[in-house]
Amino acid sequence: MSDLTPLLPRAAALLDAARAGGHRIATAESCTGGLIAALLTEIPGSSAVVDRGFVTYSNGAKTDLLGVPADLIARHGAVSEPVARAMAEGALARSDATVAVSVTGIAGPGGGSTAKPIGLVHFGLSVRGGATRHLERRFGDLGRGAVRLVSVETALGLLEEAIGRAGGQP
């Protein structure tokens, strides 16, 4: 299991900024298996900011819980830009959040291919009333725990940017 302790100060600062700006956060996680939500909810008082977290590890869960079209997953694969975007948009639509982050990737040790190697992770960030952003990272075969940890760090950075850009306004 990844050690999230070093990220606690950043998470606390993010929640403070979100609280000050009237933001609520939702997460939609696949390869991180709920680690982003676990990090955020480790902070006392996080319930004022964290609305909900979706752990959608299977394709069926992505469809059932987030509304990701099954044909989108069939066409592009679960680890893809369109699915990461749809996951973030689905989390936002199915919550009271003002910002939602999604992550879908291949943490390893198996499951990779030439086109989609171990360490490939797609992120989505959706802000209510704004455009959905996508970020692709190829972390490499760092080991399962390390890929998951850097994915949590990256998602945290996306949330920090979104809440900082909003200037405190949801």
Helix boundaries (H) for the chain: 8-21, 35-41, 59-66, 70-76, 81-93, 144-165
So where are the chain's domains? 5-165
So what's the architecture of 5-165 in CATH? Alpha-Beta Complex (3.90)
Give the C-alpha separation, 118 to 99, whole Å.
28
Taking residues 98-115, report their average pLDDT: 96
- SS3 (DSSP) at 91: helix
pLDDT band at 91 (very low <50, low <70, confident <90, very high): very high
Average pLDDT over residues 111-116: 94
- What average pLDDT does the segment 65-94 reach? 98
